[in-house]
Structure 1
Amino acid sequence: MPKIMSYLLLGFCLTIVILLPSLGATGVRETTPVESITSVPMPTQAGNILITEPLAHTNVLLNQPVFGKELVLRITFIPKDTEHISVGVRENSFWLSYEPISFYEKKAARSQNMQEQTITIPLTDKLADKDQSVDVIFFTNAPIDVSSFINHPTESQVHWELVSLSAEVKNAIPSWAATKDFIKSFVYRERVL
């Protein structure tokens, strides 16, 4: 019994040590310009960003550890003739390790006019870059045949407008599984390629 208590106490202390640096400021965070996965900035028209490829990328500059945090994205967009749009945050060192979260489907939408969606994504099990930013990708008309897209990017054109994107960080109690993934990322030194 004393051995179990010592393990529980050690686990509790470890959790507190990990959580303390993450209790920093919450609030709105800056995002980098939206670009293609080959780092070409997306074009703009009348102040809106024109999403013209199936994968569009941006970074959210957290400036703090991801443990015990969640990202709230407020996305205002005009879907035009797009069938499906989703967003995801990079989970590990594989370049396409994103779990897409759908926020628009043409068949379920009431209109193709300007819309706003709010998506909340837990960050504890996500991969932060060395500069404490997280990679965010918009997926259009998923699933995407990535090899076909890479070999023939101009054949996979899409068209929708990103009117605005805001990112906010909030404190969140992480799940046990997310906490284990976070600890594993330090133990195994999982870093961005």
Structure 2
Amino acid sequence: MTISQNIDLDKLEGFRTFLKDNPEKVRLSLEAKAVYEGQVGRSLVHIGKYALDGEVVDRQTRHYTFPFGAWKEVEDVLGVGGPTDRMEPVEMALAATAACLINSVTFNAVRMDIDIEDLEITVRSKVDPRVLFAIKDPMQHSNCLGAIEYEVKVSGDVSDDDLETIHQLCQHSPVHGMMAEALEMDGQISRA
């Protein structure tokens, strides 16, 4: 057993081999549910159960609730009663991107023997809120969302080739794929 950065590399390689040999296996079905709190712009987002190859995994330690909204100053300008700071959805999308980039880099760099001591990834974008407030048509999102930029800072015994590999590993992140590729988004609306 070879342990590096708190991961069993033999198990990691075994899992990668299983994925290569069984392309129809290891499919994750994920969900998040937002519930309106009765105040404009505020919701509680719940994350819990997921499915692995169709088998539902639902345990209490997987249940998380996050309060979403906006920033106190923005809520005040909008006239929201009792303005407060909340996690903002676009920021959380950027946070999810940063976290997934870290996962993509570290799960692969460790098996490639890239010596990462510290890794910090910052993800940024600019947003014009006119689509959100129905001033612009939803088809104009691309005109209202700035490019997503990320900056990777890494320390350790890393060569220029390692830095290029780390850049390539960022592109293996599933959330990077969600953000970089045009994915179909389908909505169903019904009465509760």
Q: Do both proteins adopt the same fold according to a TM-score greater than 0.5, normalized to the shorter chain? A: no
Q: Which has the higher contact order (CA 8 A, sep 6+)?
A: 1
- Specify which structure has the higher proportion of helix: 2
- Look at both structures and tell me which one has the larger radius of gyration over its CA atoms: 2
TM-score range for the pair, normalised by the shorter chain length: under 0.3
TM-score of the two chains, using structure 2 as the length reference: 0.20
